[in-house]
Structure 1
Amino acid sequence: MELRLLVTFEKVATVLSFTRAATELSYAQSSVTGQVRALESSLGVELFDRLGSRIRLTDAGARLLPYARQIIELSEEARAAVTEPAEPSGTLTVGTMESLTSYRLPPLLEYFHHRHPKVRIALRTTIGDETRQALRQGTYDVGFLMEERTAHPGLETAVLAVEPLALVAAPGHPLTGRPVTTADLTGRALLATEPGCAYRDLFERELAALEPVEFMEFGTIEATKRAAAAGLGVALLPEVTVAAELAEGSLVRLAWEPPFTLRTQLAWRSGKRLPAHVRLFVEQARQLVSGPG
């Protein structure tokens, strides 16, 4: 089996599209189709079921895929062992989210800007399922997650910090200055960022156990903070994102303790050999992206 045929097969199997695979590999689509057919011919089996405009792996294709990935990774490792430059360089595509980009990543980005200018960091804002899927498909090199669980199928993770949350409101809110239970929040005006954000979804789950929940959605953390400060309702946000407002008094923290714990994590695809500049990013993230936990 030729390595280039396995590379093409792995890409098609990952994105499940000959057209998209051709684009990502910078091939003509006919070349991708021809290489897959050549691999099928050499093995004497069909690797994909062609279902009109869609494709899916056959049982044989599914069995071949993990071996193809191991061979490709080993080939890349062998090449890197003799060609990696002393100074890390290359493009690093990172999945991240608004709260981390604005409040946790600046020291890490500053470090690379000054110490390793040959490493180009491309930040992509996605959350949850989108980030995990992009990592599994190889679209992202690494991705930041802020989630309750730390085990993710197909991914390796490094837990960087416990991420404290704060329920905030404008000064003078009726719930200020006394213990707050989840029941106290029923019937209150609730503010939130977009669905899919782990702390919003977990907050909604807790409240929905008592009554149906409706949020006023503001999309971004900054807009949600401004709405809370204007007295439009209460919002659950990462503590790091509201620290300045709590200190200056434009927001107050309500005495409600979330019954769940989020952890900021850095993740990458399992079994993937990380190039030198990606390994360096992981190492520095462990040191520089941290919280009070």
Structure 2
Amino acid sequence: MNLDNLEAFVYVVHYGSFNKAADALFLSQPSVTARIQSLERDLDCQLFDRMGKKINLTDKGQRFLPDAQQILRLYQSSKQHLHRAAEVTGELRIDCTVSASNYIIPQILPRIKEEFPEVNIRLTTAPSDTILHRVLSSESDLGLVRNVIHPHIHSLKLLEDPIKLFVYEDHPFTKLEHVSAELLSREPFIFFECGSLDWVRIQRSFESLTEPPSINYQVDNLETAKKLVMNRAGICFLPELCARREVQEGRLIPVQVPEISGNALHTHIISRIGESTSLAQAFLTAGREALIH
């Protein structure tokens, strides 16, 4: 069985289009079609139902997909083991979001350096989409990003950071066991916007209220948001990790809002499949050990 044909199959499923899969694979659309047809001949079954421009997996295609993904993962994993010695020396290029750089990376890098003393580390901050592109193009070895999905990317969940409402000390909400969403309409808000789906859900929760809160400040920097709250400019939803020190010092107080609970900021470690896998796993282990304290 040809691995290129398996890869084409997985890409077509991922992108839902022969044309988009061809663009991602740097191939022509007829070449992708030919690979799928060759795979179907090898398997002696039809993998896709083609209805005009729309394509859907057949029942056999659905059953085959997990096996195809597993075969590709095993191949890339075997390839990685052959090159493992080379990946723990030289320069380690890490890209991460600004929030990961501020609150996660400083706790992890000393542990990585201790485990891999020969590695020199170069750190760059960028948005998640940019990091994905840089990892795919081998400009970076590892990325710390929001959750992304791509057939050439191996992703490990590092952190699920609960998003909570934070108020300043002596705020009236600190005397309540929990706060109803309706009470929020009376408060000036600082809204931290990072583009993740969890923040969109919170914003939509506001929109569903009869009287949505007044968003006095909309910022894209966590440190700015925290300082505005501590200066009594308003209240704010923030990831728990970024406010840990201020909570310990009593300068920020978390408040329960049952209607807007269950949201969290997810941070994943990504690498190209078959590359930097042992370093990604080391990052995961170091991160989990560091961040639980």
Normalising to structure 1: TM-score of the pair? 0.65
The aligned runs of 1:56-67 (5 Å cut-off) are 56-67=56-67
- Cα RMSD of the aligned pairs, angstroms, is 4.4
**Percent identity of the aligned residues?**
22
Q: Is the Cα contact below 8 Å between 2:100 and 2:144 reproduced in 1?
A: no
Shift of 1:40: 1.8
Distance 1:212 1:220 in 2: 26
Distance 1:91 1:50 in 2: 44
**What corresponds to 1:182 in structure 2?**
179
User: What SS does the corresponding residue of 1:192 show, helix, strand or coil?
Assistant: strand
* Aligned: 1:192 with 2:191: yes
User: What SS does the corresponding residue of 2:255 show, helix, strand or coil?
Assistant: coil
**What corresponds to 1:278 in structure 2?**
280
- From the superposition, tell whether residues 291 and 283 of structure 1 become closer, same or farther in structure 2 (CA, over 3 Å): closer
Shift of 1:62: 1.2
Distance 2:142 2:79 in 1: 24
- From the superposition, tell whether residues 279 and 247 of structure 1 become closer, same or farther in structure 2 (CA, over 3 Å): closer
User: What SS does the corresponding residue of 1:12 show, helix, strand or coil?
Assistant: helix
Picking from 141, 156, 177, the partner of 2:155 is: 141
Shift of 1:182: 0.8
Shift of 1:211: 5.5
Greater alpha carbon shift after TM alignment, 49-58 vs 35-44? 49-58
- From the superposition, tell whether residues 24 and 93 of structure 1 become closer, same or farther in structure 2 (CA, over 3 Å): farther
Alignment length (residue pairs): 262
List alignment gaps of at least 5 residues for structure 2.
Answer: 123-139
The aligned runs of 1:42-53 (5 Å cut-off) are 42-53=42-53
Distance 2:41 2:66 in 1: 19
- From the superposition, tell whether residues 244 and 34 of structure 1 become closer, same or farther in structure 2 (CA, over 3 Å): same
- From the superposition, tell whether residues 123 and 71 of structure 1 become closer, same or farther in structure 2 (CA, over 3 Å): closer
Distance 1:196 1:110 in 2: 28
Distance 1:123 1:78 in 2: 22
**What corresponds to 2:6 in structure 1?**
6
Distance 1:282 1:177 in 2: 35
Task: Write the letter of the residue equivalent to 1:256.
Answer: V
Picking from 123, 128, 138, the partner of 2:143 is: 123
Distance 2:92 2:3 in 1: 23
List alignment gaps of at least 5 residues for structure 1.
Answer: 148-162
The aligned runs of 1:1-293 (5 Å cut-off) are 1-85=1-85, 87-88=87-88, 98-109=98-109, 111-112=111-112, 115=117, 116-117=119-120, 120-123=140-143, 125-126=145-146, 131=147, 134-135=148-149, 137-139=151-153, 141-146=155-160, 165=164, 167-169=166-168, 175=172, 178-179=175-176, 181-183=178-180, 185-194=184-193, 196=196, 198=198, 201=201, 212-214=211-213, 216=215, 217-229=218-230, 231-242=232-243, 252-254=251-253, 256-257=255-256, 275-288=277-290, 290-292=291-293
Shift of 1:9: 1.1
**What corresponds to 2:134 in structure 1?**
none
- More helix, by proportion: 2
Task: Write the letter of the residue equivalent to 2:225.
Answer: T
Shift of 1:35: 0.7
Shift of 1:143: 4.3
Greater alpha carbon shift after TM alignment, 51-60 vs 31-40? 51-60
Distance 1:245 1:19 in 2: 51
Shift of 1:65: 0.6
Shift of 1:279: 2.3
Distance 2:29 2:141 in 1: 29
User: What SS does the corresponding residue of 2:238 show, helix, strand or coil?
Assistant: strand
User: What SS does the corresponding residue of 2:160 show, helix, strand or coil?
Assistant: strand
